[in-house]
């Protein structure tokens, strides 16, 4: 059984779409997806610099479009046996599962991105930081003492803290024992109460979507649970904005389901890296360039 995974914000890099545009199917898909959003994903994926694509309003549609275009090239219209996405990647995963259409995913993620950027700008300065290593109880205690939220529980000894920028700076300067803390270049405290204003905006946009029930396995960021009901999928996509991502539980669910291989669609690398620590021994391919497609197809054939 193979799982197809979609990466989240932070995976983007300048020029990442340039080599993929040499494949006619991907180029046409990206053009179509750009029409469903106010963001020119092709331009940003080929010409824009790191600072530009770090902007939440640009990064999120760009990531979802890239994930969908490369997944469609690999899978066609076939449904993955298991699919999941980290944070914004969950919108691409929902489309790959058939719960929503690709264009609906792009429309919703554009609303999400703009609303999250606005919520961050309206709040007191907030930030996020990756905490790598350390005893899990010590890490969570340190976050609680500073009033920070474990916004991403990624497994493999990685937790992303979110909250007031001053508290994040204090965590960086005085990390938990045996842990490293790296402040992230993000607009604000994603997946916390700071993002609550964005929930209302996304809920309003989602109200016009008529989702489908899921035939295969779609895992939820909220708790790693398998979600069948289309309305529930949509509701979880909305509430996810202001709630923690439990990628550790998604990985555990994949192990429990008997997943035997992983493909991470472009821009791949982050989630397969986490899987190496939390899902040891499971073969994985990350789509970083078109050169990785053959290996991904071989993995599909061997584990489908």
* Residue numbers annotated as active site: 87, 191
- Count the neighbouring beta carbons within 10 Å of the beta carbon of residue 256: 10
Instruction: Give Rg (Cα) of the chain.
Output: 18
CB-based contact 167:193 (threshold 8 Å): no
- Count the neighbouring beta carbons within 10 Å of the beta carbon of residue 153: 17
| Residue for token pair 């989702």 | 211
The helix or strand, by DSSP H or E, that contains position 128, with its residue range, turns out to be strand 126-133
> Can you give the length of the chain in residues?
304
Q: Taking the CA atoms of 58, 92, 68 and 95 in sequence, report the sign of the dihedral they define.
A: negative
What is the spatial distance between Cα 165 and Cα 131, in angstroms, rounded to a whole number? Answer: 15
Helix/strand/coil for 73: helix
DSSP 184: -
Q: How far is CA 176 from the centre of its chain?
A: 26
Residue ranges with strand state E in 20-96: 82-85
What is the spatial distance between Cα 219 and Cα 294, in angstroms, rounded to a whole number? Answer: 26
Q: What would the two tokens of residue 31 be?
A: 């053009």
CB-based contact 300:293 (threshold 8 Å): no
What is the spatial distance between Cα 108 and Cα 258, in angstroms, rounded to a whole number? Answer: 32
DSSP one-letter string for 186-226:
-SS-TTSGGGHHHHHHHHHHHTT--PPPPSSEEB-TTTS-B
């Amino acid at each position: 059984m193979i799982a197809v995974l979609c990466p989240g914000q932070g995976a983007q890099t300048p020029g990442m779409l340039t080599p993929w545009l040499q494949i006619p199917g991907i180029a046409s898909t990206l053009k179509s997806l750009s029409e469903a959003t106010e963001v020119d994903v092709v331009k940003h994926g080929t010409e824009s610099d790191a600072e530009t694509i770090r902007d939440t309003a640009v990064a999120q549609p760009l990531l979802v479009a890239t994930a969908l275009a490369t997944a469609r090239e690999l899978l066609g219209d076939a449904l993955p046996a298991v699919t999941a996405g980290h944070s914004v990647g969950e919108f691409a995963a929902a489309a790959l599962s058939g719960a929503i259409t690709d264009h609906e995913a792009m429309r919703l993620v554009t609303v999400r991105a703009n609303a999250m950027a606005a919520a961050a700008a309206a709040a007191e300065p907030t930030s996020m930081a990756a905490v790598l290593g350390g005893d899990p109880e010590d890490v969570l205690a340190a976050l609680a003492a500073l009033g920070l939220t474990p916004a991403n529980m990624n497994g493999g000894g990685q937790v992303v803290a979110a909250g007031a920028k001053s508290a994040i700076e204090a965590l960086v300067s005085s990390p938990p024992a045996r842990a490293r803390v790296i402040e992230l270049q993000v607009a604000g405290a994603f997946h916390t109460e700071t993002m609550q204003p964005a929930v209302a905006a996304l809920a309003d946009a989602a109200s016009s979507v008529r989702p489908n029930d899921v035939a295969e396995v779609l895992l939820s960021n909220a708790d790693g649970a398998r979600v069948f009901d289309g309305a529930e999928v949509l509701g979880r996509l909305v509430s996810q904005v202001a709630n923690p991502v439990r990628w550790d539980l998604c990985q555990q669910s994949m192990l429990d389901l008997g997943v035997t291989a992983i493909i991470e669609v472009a821009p791949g690398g982050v989630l397969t890296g986490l899987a190496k620590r939390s899902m040891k021994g499971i073969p994985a391919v990350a789509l970083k360039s078109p050169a990785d497609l053959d290996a991904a197809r071989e993995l599909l054939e061997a584990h489908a």
